[in-house]
Structure 1
């Protein structure tokens, strides 16, 4: 069916112009080879990209999926939705990324509208769930949601994409048949596609995404790579645990200097478990090339499905879908790249000597035992040295040798002949 025929059909079946009720506006959308009639029931949200509607099929027998979410924008302002549709086609097999059901064109009030059809999240966004629970979540719930988000990031980064705007408002929450909730990453309108260069390198403090979740390298250098999403993930974890933003700031300029030029990462909650604090430390490494990847974070003990680490700030609530294994929580595996080393038990200082009655008396040696004379006199010299016997000390006042007589000094000098060439002068008394 051509666009002109679709426009004629829509005009014949549309309500009179000027109707303000969304329920009074049935929307016909072209999807494949069947003309499906969708009713936009309710506005779910608005953004710079357009408007999100809750839609239901007017002919349910032709559409077994039930309610869907429709992101709509005027044709002249639909570039972001087209980009998102192209990206979502790459992740049809990833269960942690929202599923795209198709793309439709419609005419509403005589204007062309681009519609992106998505699966409907009955629980809303992760931010909505946080508000329903008093602004924050229990740490076991944060572990489960973070694990799913990191799995989604792994799929995104493996294909060369960067989400660039990861935050609770862009994560959808779904309710499964068993009552357990799951989350999926959505809103790829600002994502960086493979091969796309950094766009904002020449301008300081410019970025794509929400400022509070941006990484130092993205704010200062305009570097848009996968480590940006890891930093944003750490900011999300803090927000889920505390209900507050990761940074405290007065104005946007202060925030930009704090992120780009500050020496300290966002403050990690004191009530968080030690394993969780280590996890956030891996996310907040300022050097992007040393920051852990999504693949590495999935092997971190904090995301281990068999372990639940209670926080110290409020009571622990373990959902049914999470198995609590006390024995596993006491034996943590080492992080990736580290080996498990057994901690040596420190020995007490000044250990007492064993009691003498435990040692046979015949084996006890007296103190200050002298060295045997034979051993002392017959020891061989060290290598490189010759054996020199110890000379005996000579007594003083020995008698003179036979050739000399015991005379005084004067007499000895007087009796000696002078050397050749010298005359004898003598010694005066």
Structure 2
């Protein structure tokens, strides 16, 4: 196969046929990895091929590797941290090996996926007997493809190449106020391709999501508008739960709309309409309910005002807006009060007062409900444990076995300190 075709046409595959790859072919792919360049030809990387079904189950249930059960041949790539640490040369060599494997597998008609989200690193190391002085680069999923993903968004070389210097600020920021909305949406539109349509995006707190869906369901009218969705995590679950309700999703990103349409088709969901609107304007149709969920924390203040104004224009008289936000007064919100880089870009926790000020200009807030009063410590392992706190890892990992108050639903005083708040506002 032509090398350019392999590079340009290869896709990450997350849905495989059950058919196994012959052992000789599998080792040819691993040999392609061995041919990769490495600093001083040290070749400090190693492969751990998992073929034990019982071990796969443990990796899924204990370590949280969500979809390993569907991968015919998971291959963990590890590298020795004792040598070649300068300028990350050991990591560079292992990464080059992974790319070699992906391209050679594609040339053989075999699907692959470079997986960084393989679960809790410490538990994976324990289950696979990986020594502490090894670093896990990721897992390469190999198998015969059972899907044809749509081409993902790729930036052009001219867009990301600078001559002689790079024009970025000295200090990094994860506060959306310091980003343009265009840049935030561009990053989100690229990131949606990180999951295939049938896998979807996992909520950080599953019990919290379950309680939120139950509450939201009690407030839905017959015609529902969903504003600027990017993950589909709420929209698709609600549409599946309420097949007699008509949902409309509006987005300012054409790529997001195309992706959502494919996702809905894959799941055979027929009660969602998708609208691309670059300036977030809609036809004069009005709705019984407007949903703005898991969004305002990633928007600059100007766009928050725009979203709320759109919600007001789109609602019938005496109808309902449901708006959720990450609460700055919660334990989780306090940890990221200065902003955090999440999958879809920068986010920052917000106070009830700041949103109430915006909403009260056009709405009357009738209810405030809080979810997840005390998150499970597993959030630290999903978000990344700050270096100075890693000494507490054993204790936090023990607590992470329990859900604590992750599934709690709170009103009144306790809502003020819950991780996520949903505001119910009437037009």
| TM beyond 0.5 | no
Shorter-chain TM range is: under 0.3
Between structure 1 and structure 2, the one with the greater Rg is 1
TM-score by length of 2: 0.24
Q: Which structure is higher in strand share? A: 2
Q: Which structure is higher in helix share? A: 2
